[in-house]
A = this chain, B = another copy of it.
Amino acid sequence: MTYPRTDRTTSLRVPEKLGYDVEAANAILDEAHVCHVGYVAADGLPRVLPTVHARLGDVLYVHGSTGSRAMLEGRGDGLDVCVTVTLLDGLIYSRAWFHHSANYRCVIAHGKARLVSDAEEKWTALERIVDTYGDGRAAASRPPTPKELAQTAVLALPLTEVSVKVRTGGPKDEPEDLDLPYWAGVVPLSLTPGAPVADEGVTAAPPAHLARAGATVQS
């Protein structure tokens, strides 16, 4: 299944890197812990905020406090957003300055985000966001009180206008540069978890659901 191509999701350059595959987009959205939410503030100027997110089917839920500007401005008929998720996979050292690059996987989703007001949808979205810390984490922590719920805002972005950009592989130098005496190649990068550090007073063993963050735990 693929997303339709729109003016916003096509590019004037490097079209070969652009894709519209739903499963590829979902995999990136699900792997990333952080997204960047862009919107136009009331002053007409752009804002870009990092936050956590979770996907449920074809909806991307973005977390925020009801006090944050983006959420305030998302009331009413919704907030036009561009949500970008980038996973950096490596640095490309080419023989030429011009061909220095990065390996990455990136999803860009455009649309109108709505403030989630339905109580059941909000609960489900928050549960899913907590479960991005590890499947089962929501069941292994305390759900929100009515006061905490009121202090939390969730934006819902329907995933309808989405592009996927991926670069993999090594340097792509010009043929005439291949004999230059410079080192060229890739330094792979990955977001690597350290050992879990328990909070003071915690006696429970690190749970298996920490593996979502990639942590090595005894299950």
Contacts and interface: CB of A to CB of B under 8 A. Distances in A.
B199 A194 contact: no
Given A50-B104, A93-B210, A170-B197, 11 more contacts: A12-B67, A12-B72, A33-B102, A34-B102, A36-B86, A40-B44, A93-B141, A96-B144, A100-B130, A170-B199, A188-B195
Interface string A38-80: 1111011111111010000000000001011100100000001
User: Interface size class for chain A?
Assistant: 35 or more
Contacts of A164: none
B11 A45 contact: no
Interface in A15-47: 33-34, 36-41, 43-47
A7 B91 CA distance: 36
A204 B190 CA distance: 25
Interface in A155-174: 170-171, 173
B210 A198 contact: no
A4 interface: no
A88 B48 contact: no
Given A38-B47, A182-B140, A183-B198, A33 B100 contact: no
15 contacts: A11-B69, A33-B88, A36-B86, A38-B38, A38-B48, A40-B40, A45-B110, A46-B80, A48-B84, A50-B104, A93-B134, A184-B198, A187-B215, A188-B194, A191-B192
Interface string A143-158: 1110010011000000
A119 interface: no
Interface in A97-118: 97-98, 100, 102, 104, 106, 108, 110
